[in-house]
Structure 1
Amino acid sequence: MRLLWLVLGLGLGGLVVGASQPVTPTSALPRLVVEAGEVDRVDAWVQVQLPSQVRGADLQLRREDADEVVPLQIGPYREAWAVLPRLRAGTTTVFRIEPALRPALTDRVSATRDVSQVRVTIEGRPAFTYIGEPRPLPPGVDQVFTRGGYLHPVMTPGGRRVTEDYPPNHRHHHGIWAAWTRTSVDGRAPDFWNMGDRTGTVEFERLSRTWSGPLTAGFDTRHRYMDLSAPTPTTVLLEDWRVVAYAWPAGDRPWHVFDLETTQALTGNSPLDLPPYRYGGVGMRGRHLWDGADGVAVLTSTGRTRTTGHGTRATWMAMTGLIDGQRAGIAMLSHPDNVHSPQPVRIHPTEPFLNFAPQQAGAFRLRPGEPFRQRYRFVVFDGAPDATRLDAIWQAWATPVRARVE
């Protein structure tokens, strides 16, 4: 499988394309020009930002050199997604953006909001849930560990849960979540990860939008990084999440695929320093039943394992374990634009915990007025990890085709 991620700013003058508008002459329709690059592309994902002049809820791409029509999904902010079936290496393909003559396609990916929670399904199967406002704590857990703003449970296409929440040996672990550990700001050292130290925490602020569609579903949300070591609790960072799930071409083995992009912005005038440390950032916690030195198998993009991989750099890492006698797992991919890429990995020796930890590669600083972004992709599957397929997904994500609108 090949993946493609494009964000384009378009300027199309006064052209208007919409199903409710008079048909525009073909020669006047905006064109999407796609260059495949040096490799063949199969099932290539494209995202474009439609300009305000291009209106209408039902649009499609029509290939100029073949009798081929590709559906477009239009998002709430006029994003448009499409999957291009095949592009040959070294070729340029031109598509016209035009009104779709068929009714809108059925939603294959759905994000259903319930107050501050979002349940995402792919092809009708539960994929994952976003927890906004904190849920009731498990019995006996101290209130200091109260936490919202994370993904759990994460499910395989076969219905097996691969994440854990509030595990007994690390109450501050929550499925897929984000926090910084070793920090420095204004002479203080809040720890937003280890909440039991009572110096920092991360709070849910708001869920701003959700969407569903035939190709993607997702949501935007915001969190606050609270410095509890200050004279009064102080918001240090605002963190925006964008989560996008895909109706991934299944082939002979369906996988759930979704992206997490985090954007952090300082609220004050002081920088936040992140000195070297072995973990911190975006982490994922596997099932508690996978605890123990032999409870989970780990594989990285360089072929490293649980015993040899910690501290090495990788483009992806995967962990798998047994659930009701069947193997299941989750892989985390790191985008090459992330800081200190390829990022080092944190692999816990006895617990099912993995984390791309950029601080292992050296200190860095978050500065006022400079948004800090990181992008990760998650692939959830039944069975063992397919290294060849994970390599292909990462390569296509990391080296997208070139495209422009004329």
Structure 2
Amino acid sequence: MTVLLHCAGRPVARYLHRPDLATGLSPRPYLHPVTTPGGTPVTEERPDDHLHHLGVSVAVPDVAGHNFWGGRTFVRGRGPTALDNHGVQHHDDWKLRDPDGFVEDLTWRAAGRELLRERRTVSTAGLTPTAWALDFTFSLTNPGPEDLSLGSPATNGRPGAGYGGFFWRAPKEAGAPAVFTRDADGEEAVHGRTADWLALRGATWTLIFAGATDDTRRDPWFVRTEEYPGVGSSLAWRERLTVPAGTTVVRRVVTVVADGAPDRGEAAALVRKALS
């Protein structure tokens, strides 16, 4: 089941809120395809290199030991291991649904338990004739009587693999995309570091990711360019993130989706406009 998102009267994204996916992919709602104003797709769905990469989604590899990322689970002392521990993000209800956005309620379930309740807010906004912005906020509430812990392969013993949270899988092209922030260039220089914004540039398109809350800005960026093109904002980079009983974790990422190759100054100006 899908919902089309529009910007300036044109369709720019499709949202699959009840995807029919195999359990090993950790079923979850996701956006795909997302396109530039010129119509170029800037997401990828179930690529051969990582079948569990699903466009734009919220994916966490370890929620109290349950996998909401897909694929194998990294186990300390064993490495990536196929486990029957996959969870499901279940669409419950629309609180709002308009052509340019929606507000959705979901539950994160695994092993017969409700682990998290999520309120997801997604909207589009036009910026220029060649750029628009996707505003994506997710609020995770622990409804249980005990604290809940979120982790990553890095917190489970795999250095540098602190992924989990907002994640955007971009399309693989003949050459690796460029990546840069305001003052750094290249995967090695930006991976695992914080930055107000981070740009991923393909052959004819550019994505500029910006953390739009203080907590989001403090999350390191997870970046891949050589192995595959993907960017995420990490909830648990070096240490597990505890969500106390009855409390809520909120993250917001605003992504500029642009045709062409804006330079650093142009990228910063687009981010300012998207966040204004």
Shared fold by TM > 0.5?
yes
- Which of 108, 115, 129 aligns to 1:225? It is 108
Q: Deviations over 1:364-406 (max 9, x none)?
A: 21112212111110111111134223323545676x6xxxxxx
Unaligned stretches of 5+ residues in structure 1: 1-115, 401-406
Alpha-carbon shift at residue 342 of structure 1 (Å): 2.9
Alpha-carbon shift at residue 124 of structure 1 (Å): 3.1
Which residue does the alignment assign to 2:36? 156
1:279 equivalent in alignment to 2:163:
yes
Which residue does the alignment assign to 1:25? none
Q: Note closer, same or farther for the CA distance 1:397–1:160 as it changes in structure 2 (3 Å cut).
A: closer
Q: Deviations over 1:331-353 (max 9, x none)?
A: 221124225x3321111241111
Higher relative contact order (CA 8 A, sep 6+): 2
1:334 equivalent in alignment to 2:211:
yes
Separation of aligned partners in 2, 1:385 and 1:172:
30
Which residue does the alignment assign to 1:350? 227
Separation of aligned partners in 1, 2:232 and 2:248:
22
Separation of aligned partners in 2, 1:207 and 1:219:
11
Unaligned stretches of 5+ residues in structure 2: 73-82, 156-160
- Which of 240, 246, 251 aligns to 1:369? It is 246
Q: Which amino acid aligns with 2:92?
A: R
> What secondary structure does 2:269 align onto?
helix
- Which of 51, 60, 79 aligns to 1:171? It is 51
> What secondary structure does 2:124 align onto?
strand
Separation of aligned partners in 2, 1:334 and 1:361:
19
Alpha-carbon shift at residue 330 of structure 1 (Å): 1.7
Q: Note closer, same or farther for the CA distance 1:202–1:317 as it changes in structure 2 (3 Å cut).
A: farther
Greater Rg, structure 1 or structure 2? Answer: 1
Superposition pairs for residues 309-320 of structure 1, below 5 Å? 309-320=190-201
Alpha-carbon shift at residue 125 of structure 1 (Å): 2.6
TM-score by length of 2: 0.83
Separation of aligned partners in 2, 1:265 and 1:385:
37
Q: Which amino acid aligns with 2:164?
A: G
Separation of aligned partners in 1, 2:165 and 2:26:
19
Superposition pairs for residues 234-245 of structure 1, below 5 Å? 234-245=113-124
Superposition pairs for residues 165-314 of structure 1, below 5 Å? 165-184=45-64, 189-196=65-72, 197-208=83-94, 209-212=96-99, 217-228=100-111, 233-248=112-127, 250=128, 253-275=129-151, 276=155, 278-289=162-173, 294-314=175-195
Whether the aligned pair in 2 keeps the contact of 1:126 and 1:159 (CA below 8 Å) is no
Q: Which amino acid aligns with 2:120?
A: W
Separation of aligned partners in 1, 2:26 and 2:251:
25
1:388 equivalent in alignment to 2:269:
no
TM-score by length of 1: 0.58
- Which of 13, 27, 49 aligns to 1:147? It is 27
Q: Which amino acid aligns with 2:27?
A: R
> What secondary structure does 2:267 align onto?
helix
What is the number of residues matched between the two proteins? 256
Q: Which amino acid aligns with 2:32?
A: H
Alpha-carbon shift at residue 191 of structure 1 (Å): 2.0
CA RMSD of aligned residues (A): 2.3
More strand by share: 2
User: How high is the sequence identity, in percent, across the aligned residues?
Assistant: 25
Whether the aligned pair in 2 keeps the contact of 1:202 and 1:223 (CA below 8 Å) is no
Separation of aligned partners in 2, 1:259 and 1:173:
20
Whether the aligned pair in 2 keeps the contact of 1:149 and 1:223 (CA below 8 Å) is no
> What secondary structure does 1:247 align onto?
strand
